[in-house]
Amino acid sequence: MNIIFLGPPGAGKGTQAVRVCEWLGIPQISTGDILRRAIKEGTPTGLAAKAYIDRGDLVPDSVVIDIVRERLAQPDCKSGYLLDGFPRTVAQAEALASFAKIDKVVDIDVDDQVLVDRLSGRRVCLTCGGTYHTSQLNGSTRCERCGAELIQRDDDKPETVLSRLKVYHAQTAPLIDFYKERGLLVTVDGSLSMDDCFAAILSHLGA
Ligand code: AP5
Ligand code: MG
Ligand code: ZN
């Protein structure tokens, strides 16, 4: 099954993607994670993307479309994949339709006020993609899954969070109608607990 997770920053796309991908045995493809790794490694793509990400803007369509096209050509995507954070503009969705067949789009819906709190307390693992909130870490700074040191993302500063939310409403939210019109959209309430949200997603996927 080829799946897209849609939703605002902090909705829980990454959190649920890790669990759903483990459950279904498919790769999680997060354009945000790929770009952050490129920045860390200092690749040309990373250098080009950094200023956009730091401002909370979207990286140009051409850059992310090429990343996803190459990634989906890898052998581990043959039996399905989950796109987390792509597409994010109508142009990306149209490009994707030219090289991939999507079976289901899960929109994880959460109000803006909740998102600001979630993002300001978020800690992430750059090694395995694990995502945590300070409220569940009991002061620990290590990833429970792989032991790596957790970091706070540079774009989780309050000003940047607000501009990411604006960008989401202006450029990404239109994809809700885009996929509704194509009969692919299901919506889950992302303000549920992590377990209830996971169960709701699996039931929509028939998994
Ligand atoms: P990206 O990394 O994709 O960030 P994002 O979409 O802003 O989404 P987040 O990762 O912030 O949120 P999430 O929904 O994954 O939430 P999470 O599970 O972590 O993109 C970053 C940047 O890269 C973009 O701004 C852009 O510049 C660039 N980029 C990436 N893709 C691009 C594209 N396609 N085109 C152009 N540019 C692109 O959860 C958040 C927090 O909430 C965590 O602390 C978690 O523990 C907590 N939490 C999660 N679920 C729950 C729950 N049910 N209850 C309570 N707490 C919860
Ligand atoms: Mg994420
Ligand atoms: Zn980890």
The tokens 């050509």 sit on which residue? 73
What pLDDT sits at residue 127? 86
What pLDDT sits at residue 92? 98
Q: Which atom of ligand 1 is nearest to the CA of 85?
A: 3
Q: The CATH number of 2-26+79-122+173-205 is which of 3.40.605.10, 3.40.30.10, 2.40.110.10, 3.40.50.300? A: 3.40.50.300
How would you write the pLDDT of the chain (207 residues) with one tens digit per residue? 999 999 999 999 999 999 999 999 999 999 999 999 999 999 999 999 999 999 999 999 999 999 999 999 999 999 999 999 999 999 999 999 999 999 999 999 999 999 999 999 999 998 888 899 999 999 999 999 999 999 999 899 888 999 999 999 999 999 999 999 999 999 999 999 999 999 999 999 998
Q: How far is the CA of 99 from the centre of ligand 2 (A)?
A: 23
DSSP 3-state of 122: strand
Distance between start and end Cα atoms, the chain: 10
- Determine the Cα–Cα distance for residues 170 and 157; give it in Å rounded to an integer: 20
* Residue located nearest, by CA, to atom 34 of ligand 1: 86
Q: Give yes or no: 164 in active site.
A: yes
Q: How far is the CA of 140 from the centre of ligand 2 (A)?
A: 21
pTM comes to 0.94
Q: Give yes or no: 101 in active site.
A: no
What pLDDT sits at residue 158? 87
What pLDDT sits at residue 129? 82
**Beta-carbon neighbour count of residue 201 at 10 Å?**
24
